[in-house]
Chains A and B, each alone.
Chain A
Amino acid sequence: MPWPAAGRADGPDRGPVFWTESIMTHSPLSAERAPAAAPAAWVLQACDLAGQRGERALFEHLELALEPGAVVWLRGRNGRGKTSLLRLLAGLATPMAGEIRLHGVPQKLAGAEGRRSQLYIGHQNALKDDLTAMEALRFLARTRGERPDDEALALALQRLGVRGSRHAPVRTLSQGQRRRVALARLALCLHVDLWLLDEPFDALDADGIAALNGLLSEHATHGGATLLTSHQSPSLLDPVPRIFDLDRHGLA
Chain B
Amino acid sequence: MRDLFLAVLLRDLKLASRRRIDSLLPVVFFIVALSLFPLGVGPEPQMLRDIAPGIVWVCALLASMLSVGSLFAGDLADGSLEQMLLAPQPAIAVAAAKSAAHWLLTGLPLIVATPLVGLLFGLSGPALAALLAGLLLGTPILSLLGALGAALTLGLRSGGMLLILIVLPLTMPALIFGAGAVSNVEAGLSASGHFSLLGALLLGTALGAPLATAAALRISTE
> Given A92-B222, A145-B3, is A126 in contact with B78 using a C-beta cutoff of 8 Å?
yes
Return the CB mask of B5-18 against A: 1 if under 8 Å, else 0. Answer: 00110010011001
Minimal Cβ-Cβ distance residue in A for B19: A130
Question: Which among B15, B19, B78, B84 is the interface contact of A125 at CB below 8 angstroms?
Answer: B78
Q: Does B88 contact A (CB under 8 A)?
A: yes
> Considering the chains assembled together, what is the distance between the CA atoms of A112 and B89 in angstroms?
6
Are B88 and A124 in touch, CB under 8 angstroms? no
Instruction: Give the shortest distance, in Å, between A49 (CB) and chain B (any CB).
Output: 16
Stretch at the interface among A59-67, A101-109, A115-123, A205-213: A115-123
Are B3 and A127 in touch, CB under 8 angstroms? no
> Considering the chains assembled together, what is the distance between the CA atoms of A185 and B87 in angstroms?
14
Contacts of A126 in B (CB 8 A): 78-80, 82-83
> Given A93-B222, A122-B79, is A144 in contact with B87 using a C-beta cutoff of 8 Å?
yes
> Considering the chains assembled together, what is the distance between the CA atoms of A128 and B10 in angstroms?
13
Instruction: Give the shortest distance, in Å, between B110 (CB) and chain A (any CB).
Output: 24
What total count of A-B pairs have CB within 8 Å? 69
Instruction: Give the shortest distance, in Å, between A51 (CB) and chain B (any CB).
Output: 11
Are B3 and A130 in touch, CB under 8 angstroms? no
Are B86 and A139 in touch, CB under 8 angstroms? no
Question: Which among A124, A127, A145 is the interface contact of B87 at CB below 8 angstroms?
Answer: A145
> Given A94-B222, A115-B88, is A143 in contact with B83 using a C-beta cutoff of 8 Å?
yes
Minimal Cβ-Cβ distance residue in A for B3: A145
> Given A128-B15, A130-B15, is A139 in contact with B78 using a C-beta cutoff of 8 Å?
no
Instruction: Give the shortest distance, in Å, between B26 (CB) and chain A (any CB).
Output: 18
Are B222 and A142 in touch, CB under 8 angstroms? no
> Considering the chains assembled together, what is the distance between the CA atoms of A71 and B30 in angstroms?
55
Q: Which of B164-187 contact A (CB under 8 A)?
A: none
> Considering the chains assembled together, what is the distance between the CA atoms of A125 and B15 in angstroms?
17
Return the CB mask of B115-150 against A: 1 if under 8 Å, else 0. Answer: 000000000000000000000000000000000000
Minimal Cβ-Cβ distance residue in B for A135: B14
Q: Which of B1-53 contact A (CB under 8 A)?
A: 3-4, 7-8, 11, 14-15, 18-19
Q: Does B85 contact A (CB under 8 A)?
A: yes
Minimal Cβ-Cβ distance residue in B for A117: B88
Q: Does B190 contact A (CB under 8 A)?
A: no
19 A-B interface contacts by CB (under 8 A): A90-B86, A92-B82, A113-B88, A115-B86, A115-B88, A116-B88, A120-B83, A122-B82, A128-B15, A130-B19, A131-B18, A142-B3, A143-B4, A143-B7, A143-B83, A143-B86, A145-B3, A145-B88, A145-B89
